[in-house]
Structure 1
Amino acid sequence: MPDYPIIAIIDIGSNSIRLQVAQSLEKSYRIIQDYREILRLGDCVFSKGYIDGQTADLFYKNMEVINNLIQNHKATIIRAVGTAALRDAQNAYEIVKTTKERFGIDIEIISGKEEAYYNFLAVLYNFDIKNMNALTIDIGGGSSEIVISQKGELVDSYSTLLGCTRLKHEFLKKDPPSQSSIYAMKDFIEETLQNLDDINIDTIVATGGTLNNIAIMYYMSQNKKSTSYAKYVPRSYVKSLINTLRRMKIDDIKKIKGVEEKRADIILPACMVIESIMNFYNVEGFYTFMGGLRTGLLIDTLNKIGLSFPFQTLDSDLKFSRLIELGNKFNFEEPHALCVNDLAKKLFEQLKQTLNLQDKDFALLEAACILHDIGTYISFSKHHMHSYYLITNSDLTGFSVKQKNMIATIAYFHRGSLPNKSHKFYQSFSKKKKDKIKKLAAILRIADGLDRSHRSFVKDIKVSIEKDNIKIVAISSEDTFLEMKAANAKKNLLEKVTGKKVSII
C-alpha cells in the first residue's frame, strides 16, 4: 500500500476552533482525530474590534493542544484557516505571527468567497444535487456564506454579515431581547437577502455548528434518533422555535432539551437567518450535516497533492461514488466489486419478475455488491461478519439507517449459511423486508461465485426460466472451472426463494 500523507485541518471560526486529522488514501480518507473547543473569538471581535489578551491566551492554549495532537499523529501536511473573526480582528496579524513563532503553524485568513466554495465542495461530497437547484449556506459566528448552484454547477456565491454571533452583538443587547430589536434584526436579515439571485430553489443544505445544534433539538423534540449524518428540519419547527426563544432568557434557553449550552445565546439569530432564507425561496425545510468547511478544505488539500475522489471523477450518481470511496477506505478489490455488481445487475434484470422485485430494489443490491468484501480489511476469515459490522457503522450517503442495515445484511449472506432463526439481526426485519433480503442475497451469492477467481472472466449472463427450472448460462472465452464450481455451490438460496431447480453452466 502506498505511503499516503496524514493531513491536519485546523478551522479557526468565530464560535469554535476545530482540528481534524485524516489519513489520506488513494480515493478516500479516514478521520483519525477530531478535536473541538468553543472559544467564541467573535464575542471579542464583534464587540471590541480585536481579540483581547485573555481570549488570545485561551486561543494559544488550544493551539498548543492542537499542535501536540498533530505531532502525535505525525501529520506531514498542516492547513490552518481563519474565517470571519480573524478577517475582522484589528490584531489578526499579531495572532497569526505569534502562532507561527510558537507552533510553526501558518494561519491562512481566507475570504468569504473562498469559505463559501469550500463549504460547497463539502455539500457536493455529501449530497446528490446534480439534478436540482440548491442553496448551500454555512451560518457561522461572524458571517454566512451562501452558494447558489444549478444542476450541481456553482452559479454564484455570497459572503454576508449574517453570522449569528455578530447579529447577537449588533441587535440582541438585552436578555431577553426587546421585541423592537428582534424586528430590527429581522429587517436587516431580509434586506441582506435581497442581494441573492431570485431563482427557483429545490433544496437548502446548511452547515455550521449552530444549525446542527438546531437539528439535534428538533430530533430530540420529536423523540427521533439522530444517527444519520444528514438531518432534515422542517420550516414549521424553526418558526415555532423562534416564537418560543424570542421571549426567553438565555439561562432558560440552556434548559431546552438538546441545546448546546455555549450556543444558547446564538440559537435565535441562527433560526431567524435560516427561516428568512426558507421564506425567501419558499422552501419548507432544510438539510444539515456535520463537516462543512473542514470537509471542503480536506478535499481541496487532497486534490492539490494529486488525489481525487470518485464523486469528482466518476460519471455516476453520488451514492455510487461514495460506495466506491467507502470500499477504497477499507482497501477492497475494486475490479472484483465492480465485476460482481455488473453480473448481479444482469441477473437482477432477468430475474426481477420471477422474484417480484422492483427496479428501485437494485440500489440495495448494488450497495451490497460493492461493499460485500470490505470485511477482509479486518480479517479474511469470517469476513462477511466483518463486512456487516463495517457497513452498519459507516455513513452511506443517500440511504436511510434501515436501508443501510438491509444492505449490511444482504452483504453478510453473500457467503456462509443461509438466513435462519439464529441470525437475530436478520430476524429483526419485517417479513416483507426479510423476503427482499433473501432474494437480493440470492443474486449476490451467484454473482460473487461467478467471479471466484477475481479476474472478471465472465462477461455476460443469459437466464432462461421454465416452470420448475432456472438455467443460467455464463458467457466467457476463458476457463471458468472455478467460477462454475463456486456459483453452483451458492445457488441454494436462489433455489429456496424461487422453489425452482437452478443450473449454472
Structure 2
Amino acid sequence: MKIEKLAGIDIGSNAIRLLVVNVITENNAPAPVFKKSAIVRVPIRLGEDAFLKGEISENNAIRMQKAMQAFSLLMDVHGVKKYKACATSAMREANNSVEIVKSVFNSTGIEIDIIDGKKEAEIIFSTDLSTIIDVKKSYLYVDVGGGSTELTVFSNGKIINSKSFKIGTVRLLNKESKQFIWKTMEKWIKENTHHLRSLSVIGSGGNINKLFKMSEKPIGKTLTLHYLEAQYEFLSSMSYEDRITVLGLNPDRADVIIPATKIYISAMKWSDSHKIHVPKIGLADGIIKNLYFNKL
C-alpha cells in the first residue's frame, strides 16, 4: 500500500479553502482511493473588494497572506508532498492581484495560479462523478461561486459545451450582476439544453451543500425544484440574524445562501429540470485529482 498526501487551495470570492487528501493506492486495486484528511475554510470575502472597488484592500490582502502562511504550516505538518493553489473570479478582476500573488510567494513560498472561468470549470468537472452519472443521460453542471457561475452541459458521457458567467453570490449581494447577464445566461442554458430529454442538474458549491445538509436527506438522494423554491421562500422570510441564531448558519453563509439558491432555481427552470444531484465536490477536489494525474 502507498499513501501520498496532496493538497488543493481554492482562493474564491467568498472564502479561501485548504483541502488535504490521502491518496491510497494498492497493488490489486483498480483505482486509487481519495480520502479527505483535513478541510480548512477561512471566510475572507475578496469579492467585496474586487467587484466594488476593483482591487483587494490592504486589510484583506494581509488576511489572505496570513491564511497562506497558516496553510503552508498545515501542509508541512500533514506531510503534503505536492499542492496547487488556484484563485478565481475575485483575483481575476482585482487590479492588484499580480502584486498580491508575488507578496504571498515571497512570504510563504506558495505559488498562486489565477485561472480563468473555463479552466475553473474544467478542473471542477474533472472530479469523480461516476457515482451519480448515467452515461446514457444528460446533465447541466452548475457551480455557483462568489463571483461567477460555471456551467457545463454534458450528454452521453461527453461535454457538449461550457461557459462562465459573472453571476455569483457576492456580486448579487452587492448588486453587481446586471440584468443583461441573467438574460444571457438564460439564453445560453436554453439553447444548450432544449434538445436534451430528461435532463438533471448537478450542483456544486458550499451553498448547495448546505441546502442538501439542511434537507436531512441521505447521501446520494436528489433535491427537487419544489424543495429549493420552498427553501428560498423560507430563508428569505427570515432575518440575517435569525438565519445565524435559529438555523445555525455561519455569518458568511447566512447572507450568500439566498442568492445562491436563486441561481440554482433559475438554472433548473431554464433547463426544464426538476431535480438536482449534490455530490459535494468543488475546485479543491478537482485540483487534487489533476495533481495526482499530472494534469496541472
TM range (shorter): 0.7 to 0.9
Pair 1:262-2:267 in alignment: no
Unmatched 5+ stretches in structure 1: 173-183, 306-505
RMSD: 2.3
Measure, in 2, the Cα distance between the counterparts of 1:129 and 1:14: 32
CA contact (8 A) 2:19 2:285 kept: no
2:211 to 205, 209, 214: 214
1:138 to 130, 136, 143: 143
TM-score normalised by length of structure 2: 0.88
Match runs of 1:348-497 below 5 Å? none
Could you say if the C-alpha distance between residues 54 and 209 of structure 1 is closer, same or farther in structure 2, counting changes exceeding 3 Å?
Answer: same
Tell me by how many angstroms 1:188 deviates: 4.7
Aligned to 2:53: 48
Higher strand share: 2
Measure, in 2, the Cα distance between the counterparts of 1:114 and 1:294: 13
Measure, in 2, the Cα distance between the counterparts of 1:90 and 1:13: 16
Higher helix share: 1
Aligned to 1:203: 200
Unmatched 5+ stretches in structure 2: 26-31
Match runs of 1:5-20 below 5 Å? 5-20=4-19
1:104 to 105, 109, 119: 109
Measure, in 2, the Cα distance between the counterparts of 1:138 and 1:273: 10
1:242 to 226, 232, 235: 232
Aligned to 1:21: 20
Aligned to 2:28: none
Matched AA of 1:108: D
TM-score normalised by length of structure 1: 0.53
Deviates more, 1:53-62 or 1:233-242: 233-242
Give 3-state SS (helix, strand or coil) of 2:127's partner: helix
Could you say if the C-alpha distance between residues 73 and 248 of structure 1 is closer, same or farther in structure 2, counting changes exceeding 3 Å?
Answer: closer
Could you say if the C-alpha distance between residues 171 and 253 of structure 1 is closer, same or farther in structure 2, counting changes exceeding 3 Å?
Answer: farther
Measure, in 2, the Cα distance between the counterparts of 1:190 and 1:210: 23
Match runs of 1:14-413 below 5 Å? 14-26=13-25, 27-122=32-127, 124-170=129-175, 188-196=181-189, 197-199=192-194, 200=196, 202-217=199-214, 219=215, 224=216, 226=217, 228=219, 230-246=220-236, 248-257=238-247, 259-304=249-294
CA contact (8 A) 1:216 1:258 kept: no
Measure, in 1, the Cα distance between the counterparts of 2:40 and 2:236: 32
Matched AA of 1:85: A
Higher relative contact order, chain-length normalized (CA < 8 Å, sep 6+)? 2
Give the greater-gyration-radius structure (CA).
1
Matched AA of 1:198: T
Give 3-state SS (helix, strand or coil) of 2:153's partner: strand
Measure, in 2, the Cα distance between the counterparts of 1:92 and 1:140: 18
Measure, in 2, the Cα distance between the counterparts of 1:88 and 1:125: 34
Measure, in 2, the Cα distance between the counterparts of 1:85 and 1:231: 33
Aligned residues with identical type, % of pairs: 28
Aligned to 1:349: none
CA contact (8 A) 2:199 2:272 kept: no
Could you say if the C-alpha distance between residues 259 and 232 of structure 1 is closer, same or farther in structure 2, counting changes exceeding 3 Å?
Answer: farther
Give 3-state SS (helix, strand or coil) of 1:212's partner: helix
